[in-house]
């Protein structure tokens, strides 16, 4: 499959696409600019929300939960943003990608700006506002999403070169971390991911100019080619949730190199995705 360019190269570091009907469709991020982008037909709207914004997910009550550089924030239905306080003071660390579990809790990982091995962790924001560290020793905490029945969670720590998988339940949380698919370095590095309604895992390959789909038993069965090397994340959207939207980055590229980098891409996936899981807080 070949992805088509959906927007101009508007983002320096495009990330975190999410489709939510109550938002009117697609939102994604220009991460280092601190901007949330939204698509209205062929028009892209841009809203500045902080010095950095790394993840956004809808709230069940309306609005959104945000991960900023060093802390979480809640957006109300009128657009007011309330920051929940910094999680740490170390300016060498930042939050990165995340997502919501089937029980409405919001997870987000962290990493060092210089990608120092083991400096990152995975945190969980509960609906009551409490925050727990659920995993440590990470390097580039990235994509996280759940299987259709909610019993498995797929996860990327990019530096490991693999897609990992956890068992999941509301009572025990994420347990039993193990390898799901090993990805050779020459193929690219596992970044964001999403799961479709058949349990297929779609992973963005940073440096690989592609998104790969793996069946629930770990077999590669689809490749989406993207006309930009730094593929960062993907999500399902459209009226039938059967379009795959793909974000890309210009980070680390010279001026004039890869003219389409930073664009949003799309492709007909041939299988529907799952509705986005929302934060219960």
Annotated catalytic residue: which of 35, 191, 217, 268? 191
Cβ(249)–Cβ(232) below 8 Å = yes
d(CA 281, CA 58): 10
Contacts of residue 58, defined as CB under 8 A and 6 or more positions apart, other chains included, come to 18, 20, 22, 23, 64, 65, 276, 278, 279
d(CA 80, CA 94): 23
Task: Tell me if residue 18 falls in helix, strand or coil.
Answer: strand
Helix (H) or strand (E) holding 212: strand 210-214
Cβ(66)–Cβ(55) below 8 Å = yes
Task: Tell me if residue 23 falls in helix, strand or coil.
Answer: helix
Concerning whether 191 is annotated as a catalytic residue, the answer is yes
What's the distance, CA 16 to chain centroid? 4
Catalytically active residues, by annotation: 191
């Amino acid at each position: 499959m070949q992805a088509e360019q959906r927007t101009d190269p508007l983002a320096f570091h495009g990330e975190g696409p999410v489709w939510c009907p109550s938002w009117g469709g697609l939102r994604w991020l220009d991460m280092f600019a601190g901007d949330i982008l939204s698509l209205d037909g062929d028009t892209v709207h841009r809203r500045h929300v902080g010095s950095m914004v790394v993840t956004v997910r809808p709230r069940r009550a309306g609005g959104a939960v945000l991960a900023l550089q060093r802390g979480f924030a809640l957006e109300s239905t009128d657009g007011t943003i309330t920051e929940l306080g910094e999680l740490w003071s170390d300016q060498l660390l930042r939050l990165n990608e995340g997502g919501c579990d089937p029980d409405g809790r919001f997870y987000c990982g962290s990493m060092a700006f210089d990608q120092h091995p083991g400096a990152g962790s995975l945190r969980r924001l509960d609906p009551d506002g409490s925050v727990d560290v659920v995993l440590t020793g990470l390097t580039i905490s990235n994509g996280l999403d759940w299987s259709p029945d909610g019993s498995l969670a797929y996860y990327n720590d990019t530096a490991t070169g693999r897609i990992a998988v956890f068992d999941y339940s509301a009572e025990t949380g994420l347990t039993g971390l193990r390898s799901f698919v090993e990805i050779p370095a020459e193929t690219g590095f596992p970044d964001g991911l999403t799961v479709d309604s058949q349990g297929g895992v779609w992973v963005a390959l940073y440096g690989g100019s592609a998104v790969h789909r793996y069946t629930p038993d770990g077999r590669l069965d689809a490749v989406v080619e993207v006309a930009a090397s730094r593929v960062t994340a993907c999500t399902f959207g459209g009226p039938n949730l059967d379009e795959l939207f793909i974000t890309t980055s210009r980070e680390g590229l010279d001026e004039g190199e890869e003219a389409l980098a930073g664009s949003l891409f799309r492709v007909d996936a041939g299988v529907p995705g799952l509705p986005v899981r929302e934060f219960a807080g």
